């Protein structure tokens, strides 16, 4: 009898404890479910039965006996009294090397029409905590990006996290595609968060190309999808990157854009009853940003690293708006793109004087640092006097320093101009820039 009792207990443990509730209210995208008190938690999975099939949702808030849920898809068809089943565990994905070259949604499901997606052996939680600070390796060596402006003035190191800050229409997506194709890495994981639907295929076929896609996993949530799916896609992007990092690979994680992740979190917070704060953003937005971005970077010693490049869409070219300001304080450097530079035809439209890499000066040797500093001085002097020169208010010969800048800054600008298929070499770029700086020194000696 004791053996039978033990067997019965084992069988009971194998059968999941299924909990059901019912929908008692639907307000816009928010679905209220009763009957799950004591079982539902923040982040719990909920499956709601509707005439159109199963609607997957997530618990985003709890109010007395009611679980407030937001769906991953359009809740069309969900009605009062609909059955809601509590799912087992938190959301997770099972990435594998077979995912390379594929496009998935925020739930890890294929959306590229290429058939089913082979799963890996181990589940990877979609929302995982960042590695403990004491257990992280240090940022490693400098890596080539193929973009001359970055390699010369805003270098990227393995395990570093860099932000690309830009308004709309200044070449941000093209720069992202150049980095995806040319940056030295084993695997690229690209998150397209809140993108226009028509631009996804254009980015994959025209910008990323077969070469870039072959080593990439692309996670997509378009702008028409619910806020929960857009937020989930950002988390899934990091989860897939973490899987490959734990395999000992060096991962390039690109996300376009963090701003749309913040907007999605704002929608979720407002729907769940949070009060609006700065520019309508809820408090959880500024709590979730570091939790997301800190997941990139070095892993534990002996494992791989996630090199992160995150775009920030600045509102009205205001680089001090709340999301941009918060992200700038979290990341290890920022690349500022200016509309004025794009309008005069220099691409990538990176403002060198406003961009910073926090791995400098240690990631360059003394000769490279001397060249970089000399070139920045020329560009800074020219920037200060540019308006005077254009108005004809500056008289040549008044200042030897300004004369050198006026003569040589346009040469630096011309050298930095780069098409999206024009891959640069860091060594060649330093040699060319060194010649210009040497010419400046010769002019100073005359």
Tell me the mean pLDDT per 10 residues along the chain, length 446. Answer: 58 64 92 92 92 92 92 90 89 93 94 91 91 91 95 96 91 89 93 89 85 92 94 97 95 94 95 89 95 94 93 81 93 94 92 95 95 96 89 85 92 93 94 94 76
Do 277 and 401 belong to one domain?
Answer: no
Does residue 316 form part of some domain?
yes
The tally of domains found in the chain comes to 3
CATH at 409:
1.20.1270.330
| Neighbour-count burial of 185, counting CB atoms closer than 10 A to its CB (0-12 exposed, 13-18 middle, 19+ buried) | buried
Backbone angles phi and psi of 440, in degrees to 5: -65, -40
- In the listed set 357, 379, 396, which residue is the last one of a domain according to the structure? 357
Cβ–Cβ < 8 Å for 245, 307: no
Query: In this structure, are 154 and 38 located in the same domain?
Result: no
Q: Do 168 and 36 share a domain, yes or no?
A: no
Residue 396 has a pLDDT of 85
Q: Are strands 187-195 and 20-27 parallel, antiparallel or unpaired?
A: unpaired
What percent of the chain is helix, strand and coil (3-state, nearest 5)?
A: 40, 20, 35
The verdict on residue 446 lying in a domain is no
CATH number at residue 316: 3.40.50.12240
Q: How far apart are CA 17 and CA 61, in angstroms?
A: 22
197, two tokens:
């639907």
At a CB cut-off of 8 Å and minimum separation 6, what does 6 contact? none
Does 306 lie in the same domain as 186?
yes
> Do 100 and 178 fall into the same domain?
yes
Q: What is the pLDDT of residue 290?
A: 96
- The answer to the question of residue 225 being in a domain is yes
DSSP SS3 for 70? strand
**Stretch (H or E) spanning 34:** strand 30-34
Query: Do residue 168 and residue 31 come from a single domain?
Result: no
Q: Is there a single domain that holds both residue 98 and residue 40? A: no
214 and 276 assigned to the same domain? yes
Domain final residue, candidates 340, 357, 374 = 357
Residue 444 lies inside a defined structural domain of this protein = no
Q: In which element (H, E) is residue 274 found?
A: none
Backbone angles phi, psi at 418, to 5 degrees: -150, 130
d(CA 51, CA 41): 26
- 243 and 350 in a single domain? The answer is yes
Is 7 inside a domain boundary?
A: no
Domain that holds residue 147: 92-357
pTM above threshold 0.85:
yes
Instruction: Kindly report the CATH number assigned to the domain that includes residue 30.
Output: 2.40.10.170
Residue 7: the pLDDT is 59
Domain ends where: 46, 71, 86? 86
**Distance (Å, rounded) from C-alpha 434 to C-alpha 446?**
19
Same domain, 166 and 140: yes
DSSP readout, 37-51?
Answer: TTT--TT-EEEEEET
285 and 187 together in one domain: yes
In a domain, 424, yes or no: yes
Q: Are residues 233 and 96 in the same domain?
A: yes
Quick check: is 9 in a domain? no
Residue 156 included in any domain: yes
Q: Report CA 376 to chain centroid distance, whole Å.
A: 28
């Amino acid at each position: 009898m004791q053996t039978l009792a033990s067997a019965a207990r084992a069988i009971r443990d194998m059968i999941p404890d299924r909990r059901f509730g019912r929908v008692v209210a639907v307000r816009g995208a928010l679905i209220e479910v009763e009957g799950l008190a004591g079982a539902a938690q923040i982040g719990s999975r909920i499956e709601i039965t509707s005439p159109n099939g199963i609607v997957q949702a997530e618990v985003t808030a709890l109010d007395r006996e009611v679980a407030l849920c937001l769906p991953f898809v359009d809740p069309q068809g969900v009605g009062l009294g609909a059955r809601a089943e509590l799912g087992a565990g938190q959301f997770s994905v099972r990435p594998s090397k077979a995912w390379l070259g594929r496009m998935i949604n925020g739930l890890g499901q294929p959306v590229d029409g290429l058939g089913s997606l082979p799963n890996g052996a181990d589940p990877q939680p979609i929302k995982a905590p960042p590695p403990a600070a004491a257990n992280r390796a240090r940022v490693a060596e400098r890596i080539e990006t193929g973009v001359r402006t970055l390699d010369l003035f805003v270098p990227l190191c393995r395990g570093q996290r860099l932000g690309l800050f830009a308004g709309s229409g200044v070449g941000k997506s093209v720069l992202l595609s150049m980095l995806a194709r040319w940056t030295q890495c084993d695997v690229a994981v690209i998150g397209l968060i809140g993108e226009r639907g028509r631009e996804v295929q254009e980015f994959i076929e025209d910008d990323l190309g077969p070469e870039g896609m072959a080593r990439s996993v692309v996670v997509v949530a378009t702008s028409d999808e619910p806020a929960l799916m857009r937020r989930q896609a950002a988390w899934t992007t990091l989860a897939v990157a973490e899987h490959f990092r734990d395999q000992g690979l060096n991962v390039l994680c690109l996300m376009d854009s963090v701003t749309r992740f913040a907007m999605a979190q704002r929608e979720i917070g407002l729907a769940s009853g949070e009060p609006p704060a700065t520019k309508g953003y809820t408090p959880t937005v500024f709590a979730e940003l570091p939790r997301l971005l800190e997941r990139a970077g070095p892993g534990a010693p002996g494992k791989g690293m996630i090199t992160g490049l995150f775009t920030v869409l600045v509102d009205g070219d205001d680089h001090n708006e709340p999301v941009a300001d918060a992200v700038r304080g979290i990341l290890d450097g920022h690349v500022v793109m200016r509309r004025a530079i794009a309008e005069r035809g220099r691409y990538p439209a990176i403002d060198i004087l406003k961009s910073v890499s926090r791995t400098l000066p240690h990631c360059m040797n003394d000769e490279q640092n001397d060249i970089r500093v000399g070139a920045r001085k020329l560009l800074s002097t020219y920037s200060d006097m540019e308006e005077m020169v254009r108005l004809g208010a500056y008289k040549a010969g008044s200042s030897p320093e300004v004369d050198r800048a006026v003569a040589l800054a346009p040469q630096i600008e011309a050298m930095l101009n780069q098409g999206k298929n024009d891959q640069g070499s860091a060594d060649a770029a330093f040699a060319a820039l060194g010649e210009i700086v040497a010419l400046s020194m010769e002019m100073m000696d005359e």
